[in-house]
Structure 1
Amino acid sequence: MERAIPILPADDLRTARDFYVDGLGFTVSFEVPGDGTTGLLGLERGTIRLTIDAPMSGHGREACVSLEVDDADAYYEEWRQRVRISRPPQNEPWGARTFSVIDPAGNTLFVMGPTRQGDSA
């Protein structure tokens, strides 16, 4: 199997863990060294995998990751109850239904699913 796992920067693992686990429903697959503020945090939700690195240096900041899902509206309905989302899902002219979430460190999660019939682009 081959896969890519994005590594996103964070300022504080505790804040990132709260956002991703409590807000977005990810589970922790690993945490090193486990002091709560610095180190690496592995996250998963279904087949989605992310790693959070605090403090991450030398790799840039404000990253963007696309999360391809079966139903963008289902994720939107779940997440909008717990985190701020700037706009509801919309069909894009290039053939996807999308919305974005920005985590506490400024990283964008760009959620993409299949377009939904009856909704305009």
Structure 2
Amino acid sequence: MSEFKTPVPNPALDAVAPDVYREIYGMPMFTIVPTADLEASKDFWLDGLGFIDLFSIPGGVTHLRRWAFQDVLLVPGEPPAEAPAQSLNFACVLSQIEEVRQRCEKLVPGCTDGPREMPWNSVELTVITPENARIVMTAARPIDPNSQMAADWRAVGIPIPENP
């Protein structure tokens, strides 16, 4: 039996993002985002959020991707009038949070909130896209092996090394 390898790097201050995965696979999860302007939406997702255009069918669909299993389909349609309460969360590394914030703010001033440290040991940036999708870029933080969090996690059986 082979061991599953995640595309998400282990939490570290110097973690390096994996390359964009360009292969075609059966998508275990994806989201569909309706947009009134496919080209404008595509530009924001590419230039702001760092996705690639895996392929586009003009006037039909744009298949966007970042890492493996981070797939978004932009389709013609009417976006909601306001951002939904739920969010789409995409993993990234700590060094990408500020880059994404700056790029998105340049494209649509005021579209970001954060970044902020979360109690589940991540740093998160919320972005409201031109289609009113609520996107959260989330980067795991390394755990200090001497912290209370590490002790709490060990107490419930999550393996945290004593010394890095």
Q: Are 2:101 and 1:80 aligned? A: yes
Mapping of residues 39-118 of structure 1, within 5 Å: 39-47=60-68, 48-55=70-77, 61=80, 62=83, 64-69=87-92, 71=93, 73-84=94-105, 85-115=111-141
Contact 1:24 1:82 in 2 (8 A): yes
State the shift of 1:109 in Å: 0.7
Between the aligned partners of 1:103 and 1:109, the Cα distance in structure 2 is: 7
**CA 2–25 in structure 1, closer or farther in 2 if over 3 Å, else same:** closer
Contact 1:86 1:100 in 2 (8 A): yes
Matched positions, count:
109
TM (norm. structure 1) is 0.74
Between the aligned partners of 2:140 and 2:132, the Cα distance in structure 1 is: 26
Equivalent position amino acid for 1:99 in 2: L
Equivalent position amino acid for 1:16 in 2: S
Residue by residue over 1:46-84, the C-alpha shift from the partner in whole angstroms, topping out at 9 and shown as x without a partner, is: 22211111115xxx8345311122x2x322222233212
State the shift of 1:98 in Å: 1.1
Equivalent position amino acid for 1:96 in 2: S
**CA 78–53 in structure 1, closer or farther in 2 if over 3 Å, else same:** same
Between structure 1 and structure 2, the one with the greater Rg is 2
Between the aligned partners of 2:115 and 2:142, the Cα distance in structure 1 is: 10
Between the aligned partners of 2:127 and 2:117, the Cα distance in structure 1 is: 16
Listed as ranges, the gaps of 5+ residues in structure 1 are none
Listed as ranges, the gaps of 5+ residues in structure 2 are 1-25, 106-110, 145-164
Q: Are 2:28 and 1:3 aligned? A: yes
Between the aligned partners of 2:112 and 2:50, the Cα distance in structure 1 is: 19
- Give the aligned partner of residue 16 of structure 1: 41
When the two chains are superposed, the root-mean-square deviation of aligned CA atoms in Å is: 2.4
* Greater relative contact order (Cα < 8 A, sep 6+): 1
State the shift of 1:18 in Å: 0.9
More strand by share: 1
Between the aligned partners of 1:45 and 1:91, the Cα distance in structure 2 is: 23
